[in-house]
Structure 1
């Protein structure tokens, strides 16, 4: 068997809009998570997002985490970059100091950053109303190549397909979306010290109109192991009336296609713990259940204000975790959110 790294999609799927889309609130988004094989540094999401019709400036998100609890964060806006790359195709997407480059669709990518970020600790950032007063320069260049077929939301089960075709869950997801596990290598300079690393990554491409009003939370985990085996899923907790919501995932055995799966036991967000939390999951497949044992290692919190001045959006925790499955061990990504009333903050 062979691995189709395109998922049957045309190469244009990895290109960005060459002109401002006419649809109001249309989004173009490129996201990636990166983790170091040694566990010394994690990037629990960096991204560029554009929202029509404001196309001269894009949103940028950078989160960097270290095992000792130090966090670097730059969530801001920056001037958009020209999208035409060396090939003459719309393959570049950037804002301010952050740029994504698609060198070859579904095959080779690069991300570069040269700027600064708020410099604080987890205990500081987990407090409501955190404001940064210290900044640190950071520079990196990361190359990554897909090694697992793309997980295209709404394609692995009839239930998920129906939810992604219309309805509240489709609004939350925000249009056409895929994610794909990769191998990564790069170099990063922090505090004037440059280090090279190898690791893994999860890239995400999303395009569409996204509406998150009323969003009640989610759990999202994914990782690829040294043998090439991998897993991933996204699940929303049941609706307020107890009825089931979106729950779709995959298991990959190192060759062939993704096997459909769903999570039956997820580590929903109930509190903020920087590292050492049991975040194991039980994944159900047509061949039976798979137990993925895991513990958190580092992560970036985002605390909803909850002061009545804005809707009660969920608290968000974007993390790197250590996963184990069938005797193999690796790092991977995790993102969880829950409504403020369901989460206990540190005293």
Structure 2
């Protein structure tokens, strides 16, 4: 069964970027595509966003896990993008082909190659760059999951509009196919992942203080999947939480997070993270085993490498498999926590 309307009731205009400069201070718009191909062993975090208080300036932020022990590619750049080319930066571009259904993702430039050893030794200095070309056709595979709706639904907590990083946010699981070239090596990509789109003030003390977070998503070959997120203050109180399970027919079901898999230390691979969700079809109780990792510092605007200065607020991306009823899917998960002073627990009122 294919569900034709994947918007979950969102207006079609939500898929476009804002065309007139907002008046609200620190307002920003951000779009993200994540994906992992287990055969090519390539993982991607591809982010486009406006710079707060510089609305016409767009930022590329690209992170790629290379196969095996080849390390990570990292790149960011800034560009005053003409309106007709948005959303795009100097190298990265997202094109909506059909709202809530199909996108094209392209990148044409260079990115710094960081070894896994250097990433573990500290913040990474400038270094060797590799040619990087990305050309992907993205097919959205599930209905939109809206953070505001989820927070107010069964199993949800907190409030999207109280956040300090956006006031609107939705996500969607997808499949991506295409090609990626790294220097002279070309990879054929057949990947899964999720995308998101956020709008609203980012930074400037406009919302709840950041204490940490978890976001995860996975789509299986059968069409079933899950997505969830939790955000909390430095004292551990949850400010936003929600989850959904997608059944094989493609229907979205509200869910409750039973155990958020928090960031407790830094591991390159082999970390076993609990995925435990309760929904109207029962309980998902499984484990993701991390296969690839990217470590970045939230204190240094996601600069790659280990940074345990001060609170040690790290932002870590992981890719790896999990099983649900014997079927294997690839999970993308991102987590943050102040590793030097983490809340002992997270809790909701």
TM over 0.5: yes
With normalisation by structure 1, the TM-score equals: 0.87
Pairing 1:146–2:140 present: yes
Q: For residues 28 and 227 of structure 1, do their structure 2 counterparts lie closer, same or farther at Cα, with a shift above 3 Å needed?
A: same
Q: For residues 313 and 6 of structure 1, do their structure 2 counterparts lie closer, same or farther at Cα, with a shift above 3 Å needed?
A: farther
User: Could you tell me how far apart the structure 2 residues matched to 1:215 and 1:117 are?
Assistant: 29
Please show how residues 269-284 of structure 1 align to structure 2 within 5 Å.
Answer: 269-284=263-278
Is the contact made by 1:34 and 1:201 (CA closer than 8 Å) also made in structure 2?
yes
Is the contact made by 1:40 and 1:66 (CA closer than 8 Å) also made in structure 2?
yes
Residue 338 of structure 1 corresponds to 337
What secondary structure does 1:291 align onto? strand
Cα deviation code 1:215-271 (max 9, x no counterpart): 11111110000000000100135762x654432100010225311112211221111
* 210, 221, 227: which one aligns with 2:222: 227
Is the contact made by 1:80 and 1:94 (CA closer than 8 Å) also made in structure 2?
no
Q: For residues 256 and 116 of structure 1, do their structure 2 counterparts lie closer, same or farther at Cα, with a shift above 3 Å needed?
A: closer
Please show how residues 53-72 of structure 1 align to structure 2 within 5 Å.
Answer: 53-72=53-72
Aligned length: 329
Pairing 1:83–2:83 present: yes
Could you tell me how far 1:319 is from its partner in structure 2? 1.6
Larger mean CA deviation between 157-166 and 265-274 belongs to 157-166
Is the contact made by 2:151 and 2:241 (CA closer than 8 Å) also made in structure 1?
no
Could you tell me how far 1:196 is from its partner in structure 2? 1.3
Could you tell me how far 1:34 is from its partner in structure 2? 1.3
Could you tell me how far 1:129 is from its partner in structure 2? 3.0
With normalisation by structure 2, the TM-score equals: 0.86
Cα deviation code 1:149-202 (max 9, x no counterpart): 1110021353787732543xx224x11110000111010001211121211121
Please show how residues 229-308 of structure 1 align to structure 2 within 5 Å.
Answer: 229-236=224-231, 240=235, 243-255=237-249, 257-303=251-297, 304=299, 305=307, 307=309
Residue 21 of structure 2 corresponds to 20
* 138, 162, 175: which one aligns with 1:183: 175
Pairing 1:206–2:205 present: no
Residue 320 of structure 1 corresponds to 319
Cα deviation code 1:2-61 (max 9, x no counterpart): 623111112111001223222221111111101114252111x11111035413432211
Q: For residues 212 and 341 of structure 1, do their structure 2 counterparts lie closer, same or farther at Cα, with a shift above 3 Å needed?
A: farther
Residue 88 of structure 1 corresponds to none
Residue 163 of structure 1 corresponds to 158
What secondary structure does 2:71 align onto? strand
Is the contact made by 2:230 and 2:238 (CA closer than 8 Å) also made in structure 1?
no
Unaligned 5+ segments in structure 2 are 300-306, 343-349
What secondary structure does 2:150 align onto? coil
Could you tell me how far 1:74 is from its partner in structure 2? 3.3
What secondary structure does 1:133 align onto? coil
Could you tell me how far 1:301 is from its partner in structure 2? 0.4
User: Could you tell me how far apart the structure 2 residues matched to 1:60 and 1:24 are?
Assistant: 21
